[in-house]
Amino acid sequence: MTVVVVNGEPRPVDAGTTLGALLVSLGVQPASVVVERNGEIVARDDFDRTVLSDGDRLEVVRFVGGG
């Protein structure tokens, strides 16, 4: 088991979980968010290739439209 911190909250995930899989499990549409991993923005094209590591700190920011 791996523990990552998502927006300040610890979250256990299975070893080998990708960022894309985590977003899906959170009910988040990858196209509508920006993700920072350990202080670096992750390119949306890399979500499914980015394997999470124990202790990763993630900030998931959702776009909100308005007018």
pLDDT of residue 65: 67
Percent share of the chain, pLDDT over 70: 96
- Domain containing residue 28: 2-62
The model's pLDDT over 25-53, given as tens digits with 9 standing for 90+, comes to: 999 998 889 999 999 999 999 999 999 99
Q: Is residue 67 part of a domain?
A: no
pLDDT at 22 over 90: yes
Dihedral over Cα of 54, 30, 35, 65: its sign:
negative
- Confidence grade of residue 62 (pLDDT, cut at 50, 70, 90): confident
Mean pLDDT, residues 49-61 taken together: 98
pTM: 0.91
Q: What is the number of structural domains in the chain? A: 1
CATH number assigned to the domain comprising residue 28: 3.10.20.30
